[in-house]
Amino acid sequence: MLIPTKFLDMLPLPILVVEKTEQTLNHPVVYLNLNFSKIIGWNLDEIPDKEHWWRTAYPDPQYQKVVERLWEISIESKNLDNDNLVLMTVNIMTKNNGIKRFKVYTEMESALLDGYYVVAFEEIIELS
């Protein structure tokens, strides 16, 4: 399957595309759009799969457990609602700008890419 990179690169939000594989739960990250690189900063060599993403984005082991539990609850709620979208608000360690807060939208069954899921990040900017 070809990933519509031109389309994903024109989107204003950071986007990553993950391949759903039945062989493992550690799904490979196959694409990061331009805004992911600009805003969050990590590249495919640094986050080649879900496990690397979790360790990189959530380096504090205690916070990582909190996010994992939030993810599990969100997935369970999604199944109850029969919805395709999982939404979480979390703190993410960026490569160059420290920790930033994001709404993270995960489309569990991609409408565009069969066999993949798409994750979009909306930065929450607090005005002081």
The domains of the chain, with CATH numbers, are 14-123 (3.30.450.20)
Rounded to whole angstroms, the Cα distance separating 70 from 66 reads 6
Coil vs helix vs strand at 27: coil
Q: For residue 98, what are the contacts with CB-CB under 8 A and spacing of at least 6? A: none
3-state secondary structure of 7: helix
Q: Output the CA–CA distances (angstroms, integers) from residue 35 to 11, 17, 39, 66, 122, in the order listed.
A: 8, 13, 6, 26, 11
Contact (CB, 8 A) for 74 and 81: no
Per-residue pLDDT of the chain (128 residues; tens, 9 = 90+): 578 899 999 999 999 999 988 888 899 999 999 999 999 999 999 999 999 999 999 999 999 999 989 888 887 776 656 678 889 999 999 999 999 999 999 988 777 788 898 999 999 987 76
